[in-house]
Chains A and B, each alone.
Chain A
Amino acid sequence: MKAFVTFLKIAAVAMAAAAIMSSCNKEDDSAPKIFEFDVVFNFPLGVDPIAGIEVKASQSNGGGVYESTTDSEGVASFVLPAGIYNIVASGIHNDGESLIICNASKSGVIVGDKMLPQATLPMVISRKVYSLIIKEVYCGGVMKDDQSAAFNYDKYITIYNNSPEDYSSENLAVTMAAGYNAEANTNSKLYTGDVYNYAATDFMPAFNGIWYFQGTLTIPAFSEIVVNIHGAIDNTQTVSNSVNFANADYYCMYDPEYEGPGTNANNKYYNNTSYYPAPADVIPTSHYLKTVKLGQGNAWGFSNVSPAVYIYETQGTSPKASAEDAANAWMHDGYNTAAFGGCKVNRNWIVDGVEVWNSEKISSSWKRLTDDIDAGHISFTSKQGHSVYRNVDKEATEALPENAGKLVYGYGEDPSGIDAEASIKNGAHIFFADTNNSSNDFHEREKCALRAQ
Chain B
Amino acid sequence: MLKKLITITVLLFGCISLCAQTMVLSGKITDKKDGQPVSYASVVLEENKLWATTGDDGSFFISRVPYGEFTLTVQCLGYVGKSQKIIVSAATKPFNIALEADNLTLEQVEVVARRDEERANTTSYLIDRNAIDHRQTLNLTDISALLPGGKTVNSTLIDDDRLALRSDAAEKGNASFGTAIEVDGVRLDNNAMMDETAGASTRNLSSSDIESVEVVTGIPSVEYGDLSNGVVKINVRKGKSPLIVESSVNPHSKSISVSKGLQAGSGILNVSAGHAKSLSNLVSPHTAYKRNTLSLRYTNTLFRKKSPLTIEAGLSGNIGGYNSSSDPDEMLDSYERVRDNAIRGNISLKWLAARKWLTNLSFSGSFSYQDKLTETYKNSSSASSQPYIHTMEEGYFIAEDYESNPNANIILGPTGYWYVRSYNDQKPISINIKLKGELNKQFGKVHSQFSLGAQLSSSGNGGRGLYYENPRLAPTWREYRYDELPWMNNLALFAEEKMEAPLWEGASAKLTAGLRDDITIIGGSEYGNVSSLSPRANLSISFWKDRKNSLIEALGARAGWGRSFKLPSFQVLYPAPNYSDILAFTPGSTADNKAYYAYHTYPSQAIRNPGLKWQYTDQIDLGLEMTVKGGTKISVSGFYNQTYRPYVSVYKYTPYTYRYTGQNEIEGCGIASADRRYEIDQATGQVTVFDRTGIHEPVQLIGTTRNSYVSNRTFINGSKVKRYGIEWIIDFARIKPLRTQIRVDGKYYAYSGVDQTLFAYNYGGSVSNGGSYPLMAYYKGGSSTSAGTVATAGTSNGTESRQMNLNATITTHIPKIRLIVSMRVESTLYWYKRSLNRLSDGEVRAYAIANREDSFGQPYSESMRNTFVAIYPAYYSTWDKPDELIPFAEKFAWARDNDQQLFNNLSRMVVRTNYAYVLNPNTLSAWFSANLSVTKEIGDHVSVSFYANNFFNNMGRVKSSQTGLKSSLFGSSYIPKFYYGLSLKIKL
Whether, in the assembled complex, B774 has its beta carbon less than 8 Å from a beta carbon of chain A, the answer is yes
Complex Cα spacing A274 to B589, Å: 12
Whether, in the assembled complex, A260 has its beta carbon less than 8 Å from a beta carbon of chain B, the answer is yes
B382 touches A278 (CB 8 A): no
Residues of B within 8 A of A325 (CB): 904
Main DSSP-derived SS at the A contact region: loop
A237 with B383, Cβ < 8 A, contacts A264-B711, A279-B663 known:
yes
Residues of A within 8 A of B415 (CB): 237-238
Whether, in the assembled complex, A257 has its beta carbon less than 8 Å from a beta carbon of chain B, the answer is yes
Q: Within the complex, which residue of A238, A259, A321 is in contact with B383, where a contact is CB–CB below 8 Å?
A: A238
A278 touches B587 (CB 8 A): yes
Whether, in the assembled complex, A225 has its beta carbon less than 8 Å from a beta carbon of chain B, the answer is no
A259 touches B765 (CB 8 A): yes
Of B238-246, B362-370, B558-566, B912-920, which stretch is located at the interface?
B912-920
Q: Within the complex, which residue of A277, A282, A285, A293 is in contact with B664, where a contact is CB–CB below 8 Å?
A: A285
Residues of A within 8 A of B593 (CB): 233-234, 237-238, 277, 280
A265 touches B914 (CB 8 A): no
Nearest opposing residue in chain B for A264, CB measure: B711
Complex Cα spacing A410 to B731, Å: 86
Nearest opposing residue in chain A for B895, CB measure: A326
Residues of A within 8 A of B331 (CB): 148-149
Nearest opposing residue in chain A for B599, CB measure: A265
B384 touches A277 (CB 8 A): yes
A148 touches B332 (CB 8 A): yes
Residues of B within 8 A of A331 (CB): 852-853, 912, 914
Q: Of B583, B592, B795, which is in contact with the most chain A CB atoms at under 10 Å from its CB?
A: B583
Nearest opposing residue in chain B for A344, CB measure: B853
Residues of A within 8 A of B792 (CB): 263
Residues of A within 8 A of B673 (CB): 281-282
Residues of A within 8 A of B708 (CB): 259, 265, 268
Of A117-125, A128-136, A333-341, A381-389, which stretch is located at the interface?
A333-341
A278 with B765, Cβ < 8 A, contacts A146-B381, A151-B383, A265-B580 known:
no
Whether, in the assembled complex, B590 has its beta carbon less than 8 Å from a beta carbon of chain A, the answer is yes
Residues of B within 8 A of A256 (CB): 583, 586
Complex Cα spacing A146 to B660, Å: 37
Q: Within the complex, which residue of A146, A246, A268, A333 is in contact with B417, where a contact is CB–CB below 8 Å?
A: A146
Residues of B within 8 A of A233 (CB): 383-384, 589, 593
Whether, in the assembled complex, A319 has its beta carbon less than 8 Å from a beta carbon of chain B, the answer is no
Whether, in the assembled complex, B581 has its beta carbon less than 8 Å from a beta carbon of chain A, the answer is yes
B559-601: CB near A (< 8 Å → 1, else 0) gives 0000000000000000000001111001111111101010000
Nearest opposing residue in chain A for B381, CB measure: A144
Residues of A within 8 A of B591 (CB): 234, 246, 280
Complex Cα spacing A69 to B900, Å: 53
Nearest opposing residue in chain A for B664, CB measure: A285
Whether, in the assembled complex, A181 has its beta carbon less than 8 Å from a beta carbon of chain B, the answer is no
Residues of A within 8 A of B387 (CB): 273
Q: Within the complex, which residue of B332, B384, B590, B765 is in contact with A261, where a contact is CB–CB below 8 Å?
A: B765
**Using a CB-CB cutoff of 8 Å, which residues 85-99 of chain A contact chain B?**
none
A268 touches B764 (CB 8 A): yes
B663 touches A278 (CB 8 A): yes
Q: Of B580, B583, B765, B852, which is in contact with the most chain A CB atoms at under 10 Å from its CB?
A: B765
B764 touches A261 (CB 8 A): yes
Complex Cα spacing A441 to B589, Å: 36
Q: Within the complex, which residue of A153, A231, A273, A293 is in contact with B597, where a contact is CB–CB below 8 Å?
A: A273
Q: Within the complex, which residue of A262, A283, A333 is in contact with B764, where a contact is CB–CB below 8 Å?
A: A262
Whether, in the assembled complex, B763 has its beta carbon less than 8 Å from a beta carbon of chain A, the answer is yes
**Using a CB-CB cutoff of 8 Å, which residues 675-704 of chain B contact chain A?**
none
Whether, in the assembled complex, A156 has its beta carbon less than 8 Å from a beta carbon of chain B, the answer is no
A261 touches B382 (CB 8 A): no
Residues of A within 8 A of B332 (CB): 146, 148
Residues of B within 8 A of A264 (CB): 580, 711, 762
Complex Cα spacing A265 to B766, Å: 14
A-B interface contact total, Cβ < 8 Å: 166
A153 with B383, Cβ < 8 A, contacts A246-B591, A259-B771, A278-B587 known:
yes
**Using a CB-CB cutoff of 8 Å, which residues 102-158 of chain A contact chain B?**
144-146, 148-149, 151, 153-154
Nearest opposing residue in chain B for A273, CB measure: B386
Q: How far is the CB of A291 from chain B (nearest CB, A)?
A: 11
Nearest opposing residue in chain A for B711, CB measure: A264
Complex Cα spacing A238 to B418, Å: 12
Complex Cα spacing A192 to B416, Å: 47
Q: How far is the CB of B796 from chain A (nearest CB, A)?
A: 11
Complex Cα spacing A148 to B331, Å: 6
Q: How far is the CB of A248 from chain B (nearest CB, A)?
A: 11
Whether, in the assembled complex, A271 has its beta carbon less than 8 Å from a beta carbon of chain B, the answer is yes
Whether, in the assembled complex, A170 has its beta carbon less than 8 Å from a beta carbon of chain B, the answer is no
Complex Cα spacing A6 to B761, Å: 72
Whether, in the assembled complex, B263 has its beta carbon less than 8 Å from a beta carbon of chain A, the answer is no
Complex Cα spacing A260 to B770, Å: 10
A278 touches B767 (CB 8 A): no
A260 touches B764 (CB 8 A): yes
Residues of A within 8 A of B590 (CB): 281
Q: How far is the CB of A235 from chain B (nearest CB, A)?
A: 5
A145 touches B417 (CB 8 A): yes
Number of interface residues of A (CB under 8 A): 57
Whether, in the assembled complex, B903 has its beta carbon less than 8 Å from a beta carbon of chain A, the answer is yes
Q: How far is the CB of A155 from chain B (nearest CB, A)?
A: 13
Q: Of A151, A261, A273, A335, which is in contact with the most chain B CB atoms at under 10 Å from its CB?
A: A273
Q: Within the complex, which residue of B586, B764, B912 is in contact with A263, where a contact is CB–CB below 8 Å?
A: B764
A210-241: CB near B (< 8 Å → 1, else 0) gives 00000000000000000000010111011100
**Using a CB-CB cutoff of 8 Å, which residues 349-402 of chain B contact chain A?**
379, 381-384, 386-387
A263 with B761, Cβ < 8 A, contacts A231-B384, A285-B667, A336-B913 known:
yes
Q: How far is the CB of B617 from chain A (nearest CB, A)?
A: 31
B588 touches A274 (CB 8 A): no
**Using a CB-CB cutoff of 8 Å, which residues 909-957 of chain B contact chain A?**
911-915
Q: Within the complex, which residue of B384, B588, B711, B903 is in contact with A281, where a contact is CB–CB below 8 Å?
A: B588
Whether, in the assembled complex, B27 has its beta carbon less than 8 Å from a beta carbon of chain A, the answer is no
Complex Cα spacing A153 to B593, Å: 13
Nearest opposing residue in chain B for A321, CB measure: B768
Whether, in the assembled complex, A269 has its beta carbon less than 8 Å from a beta carbon of chain B, the answer is yes
Complex Cα spacing A51 to B163, Å: 73
Q: Within the complex, which residue of A246, A261, A274 is in contact with B763, where a contact is CB–CB below 8 Å?
A: A261
Whether, in the assembled complex, A284 has its beta carbon less than 8 Å from a beta carbon of chain B, the answer is yes
Complex Cα spacing A285 to B386, Å: 21
Whether, in the assembled complex, A329 has its beta carbon less than 8 Å from a beta carbon of chain B, the answer is yes
Complex Cα spacing A336 to B793, Å: 10
B588 touches A278 (CB 8 A): yes
Complex Cα spacing A444 to B419, Å: 35
Complex Cα spacing A279 to B587, Å: 8
Q: Of A259, A334, A335, which is in contact with the most chain B CB atoms at under 10 Å from its CB?
A: A259
A338 touches B660 (CB 8 A): no
Whether, in the assembled complex, B114 has its beta carbon less than 8 Å from a beta carbon of chain A, the answer is no
Whether, in the assembled complex, A207 has its beta carbon less than 8 Å from a beta carbon of chain B, the answer is no
Q: How far is the CB of A117 from chain B (nearest CB, A)?
A: 37
A148 touches B381 (CB 8 A): yes
**Using a CB-CB cutoff of 8 Å, which residues 588-620 of chain B contact chain A?**
588-593, 595, 597
Complex Cα spacing A268 to B582, Å: 10
Give the 5 A-B CB pairs with smallest separation, nearest first. Answer: A281-B588, A277-B384, A278-B595, A261-B764, A326-B907
14 examples of A-B residue contacts, CB within 8 angstroms? A233-B383, A238-B381, A256-B583, A263-B651, A263-B790, A263-B792, A273-B384, A273-B387, A277-B589, A279-B588, A281-B590, A331-B853, A334-B914, A336-B911
Binding site for A on B (CB under 8 A): 331-332, 379, 381-384, 386-387, 415-417, 580-583, 586-593, 595, 597, 651, 660, 662-664, 666-667, 673, 706, 708, 710-711, 761-768, 770-771, 774, 790, 792, 795, 852-853, 855, 903-904, 907-908, 911-915
Beyond A257-B706, A279-B589, 18 additional contacts (C-beta under 8 Å) are A144-B381, A146-B379, A148-B379, A148-B381, A149-B379, A246-B591, A259-B766, A262-B762, A263-B764, A265-B580, A268-B762, A277-B595, A278-B588, A281-B589, A283-B588, A329-B853, A333-B852, A338-B763
